[in-house]
Amino acid sequence: MSQIKIIRIHNELLGTYGDQGNAEVLAYRAKFHDIATTITDISYEQPLPRDGNIYLLGGAEDAAQLLSLEALNRDRALKDAITDGAVLLAVCAGFQIIGNSFWANGRQADGLALLDVESLPGGKTRFVGEVRAHSNSLNLDLNGFENHSGKTILGPSAQALSTVSSGFGNGDSKTDGAVLGNVFGTYMHGPILARNPQFADLLLARAIGRPLSFVEDKSIPYKFFNA
Ligand code: GLN
Protein backbone atom coordinates (compact mmCIF):
# COMPACT_ATOMS: atom_id res chain seq x y z
CA MET A 1 0.00 0.00 0.00
CA SER A 2 1.50 3.33 -0.98
CA GLN A 3 -1.05 5.49 0.76
CA ILE A 4 -3.04 5.38 4.00
CA LYS A 5 -6.57 6.72 3.87
CA ILE A 6 -7.55 8.26 7.21
CA ILE A 7 -11.28 8.74 7.77
CA ARG A 8 -12.22 11.28 10.43
CA ILE A 9 -15.80 10.47 11.38
CA HIS A 10 -18.34 13.18 12.27
CA ASN A 11 -15.89 15.86 13.34
CA GLU A 12 -18.74 18.36 13.64
CA LEU A 13 -20.24 16.08 16.33
CA LEU A 14 -17.17 14.41 17.82
CA GLY A 15 -14.73 17.33 17.84
CA THR A 16 -15.57 18.79 21.25
CA TYR A 17 -12.43 17.56 22.99
CA GLY A 18 -9.82 18.18 20.30
CA ASP A 19 -9.53 14.55 19.23
CA GLN A 20 -9.71 15.62 15.59
CA GLY A 21 -5.99 16.32 15.98
CA ASN A 22 -5.34 12.57 15.93
CA ALA A 23 -5.80 12.62 12.14
CA GLU A 24 -3.18 15.34 11.70
CA VAL A 25 -0.74 13.52 13.98
CA LEU A 26 -1.10 10.33 11.93
CA ALA A 27 -0.43 12.28 8.73
CA TYR A 28 2.55 14.02 10.35
CA ARG A 29 4.03 10.81 11.75
CA ALA A 30 3.52 9.00 8.43
CA LYS A 31 5.98 11.40 6.78
CA PHE A 32 8.78 10.04 9.01
CA HIS A 33 8.17 6.65 7.39
CA ASP A 34 7.71 7.92 3.80
CA ILE A 35 4.06 6.93 3.85
CA ALA A 36 1.58 9.14 2.04
CA THR A 37 -1.75 9.84 3.74
CA THR A 38 -5.07 11.46 2.96
CA ILE A 39 -7.50 12.74 5.58
CA THR A 40 -11.17 12.54 4.62
CA ASP A 41 -13.78 14.18 6.84
CA ILE A 42 -17.13 12.41 6.79
CA SER A 43 -20.04 14.35 8.22
CA TYR A 44 -23.23 13.09 9.84
CA GLU A 45 -25.04 13.44 6.49
CA GLN A 46 -22.54 11.52 4.39
CA PRO A 47 -22.27 7.75 3.95
CA LEU A 48 -19.10 6.35 5.50
CA PRO A 49 -16.60 5.12 2.92
CA ARG A 50 -15.82 1.43 3.16
CA ASP A 51 -12.24 1.71 1.90
CA GLY A 52 -10.57 3.61 4.75
CA ASN A 53 -7.41 2.24 6.37
CA ILE A 54 -7.70 4.14 9.66
CA TYR A 55 -10.99 5.37 11.11
CA LEU A 56 -11.16 7.93 13.93
CA LEU A 57 -13.95 8.68 16.41
CA GLY A 58 -13.61 11.41 19.05
CA GLY A 59 -15.21 12.58 22.26
CA ALA A 60 -18.53 14.40 22.44
CA GLU A 61 -21.40 15.50 24.60
CA ASP A 62 -24.37 13.18 24.94
CA ALA A 63 -26.66 14.59 22.22
CA ALA A 64 -23.88 14.63 19.63
CA GLN A 65 -22.84 11.12 20.65
CA LEU A 66 -26.36 9.83 19.98
CA LEU A 67 -26.49 11.54 16.57
CA SER A 68 -23.19 9.98 15.60
CA LEU A 69 -24.44 6.54 16.64
CA GLU A 70 -27.59 7.06 14.55
CA ALA A 71 -25.51 7.88 11.47
CA LEU A 72 -23.13 4.94 12.02
CA ASN A 73 -26.12 2.61 12.27
CA ARG A 74 -27.31 3.53 8.77
CA ASP A 75 -25.08 0.93 7.16
CA ARG A 76 -22.40 -1.66 7.90
CA ALA A 77 -19.50 0.31 6.41
CA LEU A 78 -17.47 0.62 9.61
CA LYS A 79 -18.04 -3.01 10.67
CA ASP A 80 -17.14 -4.28 7.20
CA ALA A 81 -14.00 -2.16 7.02
CA ILE A 82 -12.90 -3.47 10.44
CA THR A 83 -13.58 -7.05 9.36
CA ASP A 84 -11.30 -6.39 6.39
CA GLY A 85 -8.53 -5.27 8.75
CA ALA A 86 -8.95 -1.49 8.96
CA VAL A 87 -7.77 0.24 12.14
CA LEU A 88 -10.19 2.10 14.41
CA LEU A 89 -9.22 4.51 17.19
CA ALA A 90 -12.22 5.59 19.24
CA VAL A 91 -11.89 8.10 22.07
CA CYS A 92 -14.24 8.63 25.00
CA ALA A 93 -17.75 9.10 23.52
CA GLY A 94 -16.42 7.25 20.46
CA PHE A 95 -15.18 4.42 22.70
CA GLN A 96 -18.61 4.20 24.32
CA ILE A 97 -20.31 4.15 20.88
CA ILE A 98 -18.32 1.11 19.73
CA GLY A 99 -19.14 -0.89 22.87
CA ASN A 100 -22.24 -2.99 23.47
CA SER A 101 -24.20 -0.19 25.15
CA PHE A 102 -23.86 3.21 26.79
CA TRP A 103 -25.95 5.82 28.55
CA ALA A 104 -26.51 9.29 27.16
CA ASN A 105 -29.15 11.90 27.96
CA GLY A 106 -30.61 9.61 30.62
CA ARG A 107 -31.26 6.62 28.39
CA GLN A 108 -29.41 3.48 27.41
CA ALA A 109 -28.45 3.04 23.77
CA ASP A 110 -27.14 -0.02 21.97
CA GLY A 111 -23.64 0.56 20.61
CA LEU A 112 -21.95 -0.96 17.58
CA ALA A 113 -20.60 -3.92 19.61
CA LEU A 114 -17.12 -3.77 18.09
CA LEU A 115 -15.70 -4.12 21.61
CA ASP A 116 -17.18 -6.22 24.42
CA VAL A 117 -17.65 -3.34 26.87
CA GLU A 118 -20.63 -1.69 28.49
CA SER A 119 -20.69 1.93 29.63
CA LEU A 120 -22.81 2.98 32.58
CA PRO A 121 -23.75 6.41 33.87
CA GLY A 122 -21.24 7.73 36.38
CA GLY A 123 -22.01 9.46 39.65
CA LYS A 124 -22.18 13.18 40.33
CA THR A 125 -18.44 13.67 39.98
CA ARG A 126 -17.00 13.72 36.46
CA PHE A 127 -13.76 11.91 35.81
CA VAL A 128 -11.49 14.81 34.91
CA GLY A 129 -7.72 15.04 34.89
CA GLU A 130 -4.48 13.49 33.74
CA VAL A 131 -4.21 9.76 33.09
CA ARG A 132 -1.00 7.73 33.03
CA ALA A 133 -0.99 4.11 32.05
CA HIS A 134 0.96 1.25 30.55
CA SER A 135 -0.26 -1.07 27.84
CA ASN A 136 1.24 -4.53 28.28
CA SER A 137 -0.18 -5.87 25.04
CA LEU A 138 1.23 -2.96 23.01
CA ASN A 139 4.35 -2.56 25.17
CA LEU A 140 3.69 1.18 25.39
CA ASP A 141 3.38 3.84 28.07
CA LEU A 142 0.32 5.98 27.39
CA ASN A 143 -0.80 9.27 28.87
CA GLY A 144 -3.61 11.68 28.20
CA PHE A 145 -6.34 13.86 29.61
CA GLU A 146 -9.76 12.53 30.56
CA ASN A 147 -13.11 14.28 30.92
CA HIS A 148 -16.13 11.98 31.10
CA SER A 149 -18.98 10.96 33.33
CA GLY A 150 -19.59 7.43 32.04
CA LYS A 151 -17.85 4.35 33.48
CA THR A 152 -16.92 1.41 31.30
CA ILE A 153 -17.02 -2.24 32.33
CA LEU A 154 -15.09 -4.83 30.37
CA GLY A 155 -17.02 -7.90 29.24
CA PRO A 156 -15.61 -11.44 29.29
CA SER A 157 -14.05 -11.19 25.84
CA ALA A 158 -12.66 -7.66 26.29
CA GLN A 159 -9.04 -6.86 26.98
CA ALA A 160 -8.11 -3.53 28.59
CA LEU A 161 -5.99 -1.28 26.42
CA SER A 162 -3.85 -0.27 29.41
CA THR A 163 -3.34 -0.49 33.16
CA VAL A 164 -3.75 2.88 34.86
CA SER A 165 -1.14 4.14 37.32
CA SER A 166 -2.87 7.47 37.89
CA GLY A 167 -6.25 8.81 36.84
CA PHE A 168 -9.65 7.11 36.48
CA GLY A 169 -9.53 5.53 33.01
CA ASN A 170 -12.57 3.29 32.64
CA GLY A 171 -13.81 4.71 35.96
CA ASP A 172 -12.21 2.08 38.20
CA SER A 173 -8.74 3.70 38.33
CA LYS A 174 -7.37 0.33 37.22
CA THR A 175 -7.77 0.05 33.48
CA ASP A 176 -8.28 2.33 30.52
CA GLY A 177 -9.96 1.52 27.26
CA ALA A 178 -10.15 -1.79 25.47
CA VAL A 179 -8.54 -3.41 22.44
CA LEU A 180 -9.53 -6.16 20.05
CA GLY A 181 -7.34 -6.71 17.01
CA ASN A 182 -7.09 -3.36 15.26
CA VAL A 183 -9.93 -1.76 17.23
CA PHE A 184 -8.73 0.54 20.02
CA GLY A 185 -10.92 2.36 22.54
CA THR A 186 -9.66 4.79 25.19
CA TYR A 187 -10.78 7.63 27.42
CA MET A 188 -7.58 9.56 26.72
CA HIS A 189 -7.79 12.93 25.00
CA GLY A 190 -4.78 15.12 24.44
CA PRO A 191 -5.12 14.36 21.56
CA ILE A 192 -3.77 10.97 22.57
CA LEU A 193 -1.64 10.56 19.43
CA ALA A 194 -0.02 13.99 19.89
CA ARG A 195 1.04 12.96 23.37
CA ASN A 196 1.98 9.39 22.44
CA PRO A 197 3.63 9.39 19.01
CA GLN A 198 4.69 5.75 19.41
CA PHE A 199 1.01 4.85 19.53
CA ALA A 200 0.46 6.83 16.30
CA ASP A 201 3.26 4.84 14.67
CA LEU A 202 1.75 1.58 15.92
CA LEU A 203 -1.59 2.46 14.30
CA LEU A 204 0.19 3.31 11.03
CA ALA A 205 2.07 0.01 11.19
CA ARG A 206 -1.17 -1.90 11.72
CA ALA A 207 -2.73 -0.05 8.77
CA ILE A 208 0.07 -0.92 6.36
CA GLY A 209 0.57 -4.39 7.80
CA ARG A 210 4.27 -4.21 8.54
CA PRO A 211 6.33 -3.04 11.54
CA LEU A 212 7.70 0.51 11.58
CA SER A 213 10.66 1.52 13.70
CA PHE A 214 9.96 4.58 15.76
CA VAL A 215 11.73 7.71 14.52
CA GLU A 216 12.06 10.38 17.17
CA ASP A 217 10.87 13.83 16.15
CA LYS A 218 13.54 16.00 17.69
CA SER A 219 11.56 19.17 17.04
CA ILE A 220 8.95 18.31 19.70
CA PRO A 221 9.81 17.83 23.41
CA TYR A 222 7.57 14.78 23.98
CA LYS A 223 9.42 14.07 27.19
CA PHE A 224 7.67 17.13 28.61
CA PHE A 225 4.46 15.10 28.78
CA ASN A 226 6.14 12.27 30.61
CA ALA A 227 7.94 14.46 33.14
N1 GLN B 1 -20.66 11.94 27.14
C2 GLN B 1 -19.73 10.94 27.52
C3 GLN B 1 -19.46 10.91 29.02
O4 GLN B 1 -19.49 11.92 29.67
C5 GLN B 1 -18.44 11.12 26.76
C6 GLN B 1 -17.70 12.39 27.14
C7 GLN B 1 -16.48 12.60 26.28
O8 GLN B 1 -16.42 12.16 25.16
N9 GLN B 1 -15.53 13.34 26.78
O10 GLN B 1 -19.20 9.84 29.56
Residue 217 C-alpha to ligand 1 middle, in angstroms?
31
Give, for ligand 1, the residue of 13, 57, 62 to mutate: max count of ligand atoms closer than 8 Å to Cβ.
62
Task: Report the SS3 class of residue 77.
Answer: helix
Does residue 170 line the site of ligand 1, with CB under 6 A? no
Question: Separation of 209 CA from ligand 1 center, angstroms?
Answer: 32
pLDDT given at position 225 = 57
Using DSSP's 3-state secondary structure scheme, residue 208 falls into helix
pTM above 0.85, yes or no: yes
pLDDT 10s digits, 128-165: 999 999 999 999 999 999 999 999 999 999 999 999 99
> Closest ligand 1 atom, CA of 94?
8
Ligand 1 mean position to 210 CA, how many Å?
34
Q: What angle do CA 227, 163, 84 make, to 5 degrees?
A: 110
pLDDT tens-place string over residues 4-21: 999 999 999 999 999 999
Looking at the CA of residue 61, tell me the nearest atom of ligand 1. 1
Decide if pLDDT at 222 tops 80.
no
141 CB contacts (<8 Å, ≥6 apart)? 132, 133, 134, 135, 196, 226
Has residue 1 got a pLDDT over 60? no
- pLDDT greater than 80 at residue 212: yes
CA distances to 50, 133, 164, 174 from 222, in Å: 34, 16, 20, 25
Q: What percent of the chain has pLDDT over 70?
A: 96
Backbone angles phi, psi at 84, to 5 degrees: -80, 0
Task: Give distance in angstroms: CA of 92 to centre of ligand 1.
Answer: 6
Query: What's the confidence (pLDDT) of residue 221?
Result: 65
Phi and psi at residue 127, in whole multiples of 5°? Answer: -90, 100
CA dihedral sign of residues 91, 96, 98, 103:
negative
Look at residue 215 in the predicted model and tell me its pLDDT: 87
